Homo-oligomer: A and B are copies of this chain.
Amino acid sequence: MVVDASDMLSVIKSFPDQCKRALGMAKGIIVSDEITSIVVIGMGGSGISGDLLKMYMATSKIPVFTVRDYSVPAFVDKYTLVIAISYSGNTEETLSAFADAKEKGAALVAITSGGKLAGKCQKVIRVPDGLQPRAALGYLFFSMLGLLYNSSIIEVFNDDINEMLNLLSDAKALEEKGEEIAKRLYGTIPVVYSSAAFAPIAFRWQTQLNENAKYAAFHSTFSEMNHNEINSFMHMEKGKFSSIILKDSHDHRAVKKRMSICKEVMEKKTEVIEFDILGSSLLARMMYAVHLADYVSYHLALRERIDPTPVEVIEWLKRQLAD
């Protein structure tokens, strides 16, 4: 079978440009800076942006919650900024949780390419349509950052943006690294490990492997995995799994030590693929690691002779649910 995967590749290559363009998409939309918490509603490729925001705002006094369910937490009130993200605008869970947030009197913003959600919210950030939701991450996440910046909820971050764009501009290096990793994890069940702070990135790797390469894949964190999962390695069949360790320069020194010691156990049974996340600012490190997963999953799909773009089971499921 010859697979034309050029469509996904060109979308992947547009990621840095998406990020840049998205920053201005919230123009004219601001929210009160007197909010006490942020709740981001979203599923799948739309929902991951909430996790990334939580990670990005980890040092803020404003807690960020993500909701992947049909309702929002009980504490949501007028001091809560609720951002509903649905690329299609028609995600069942998101529409339901959005209605719940509206009833609770939250401050509401929607990020979408259209659909029902666009008609239900006064403040809508519109992103370009026609993409797979997971391939619109640049638009979804950075338009949200633009909104929070406009509203003085997050600080100036031009230097970080520039550093990030500079790092991502070397598409050749990213693709080569991605292809190399894909080659090493080919034919295994990948489990992606990171520090607790980088868990959203490890999860993004999992879902890109699920959706682009149609691989069973999982993720977990250091050091929680030291307290349970690590036990399974001694009794594991050799070569069945691969262990991908995302190492961030800002990981706690004890986490670095744990990763290094555990590698010894993991190597006995699994291919261990560890690498240093490049970049200096948090934003650059986050987006480098996110974008690398695009290339890894794309090249894994090619090796499997699978078209990375269509997600047939999800489409089938939507039809079944509509019945």
Contact = CB atoms under 8 A, between A and B. Distances in A.
A217 B232 contact: yes
A7 to B, nearest CB: 17
Interface in A233-278: 233-236, 241, 252, 254-255, 257-258, 261-262, 265
B262 A317 contact: yes
A3 interface: no
Oligomeric state, in copies: 2
Contacts of A218: 218
Nearest to A215: B232
A68 B224 contact: yes
A257 B92 CA distance: 13
A320 B261 contact: yes
A228 interface: yes
A90 interface: no
Interface of A: 37, 43-45, 47, 58-63, 65, 68-70, 73-75, 92-93, 96, 134, 189, 195-197, 206-207, 210-211, 214-218, 221, 223-224, 226-236, 241, 252, 254-255, 257-258, 261-262, 265, 304, 306, 311-314, 316-317, 320-321
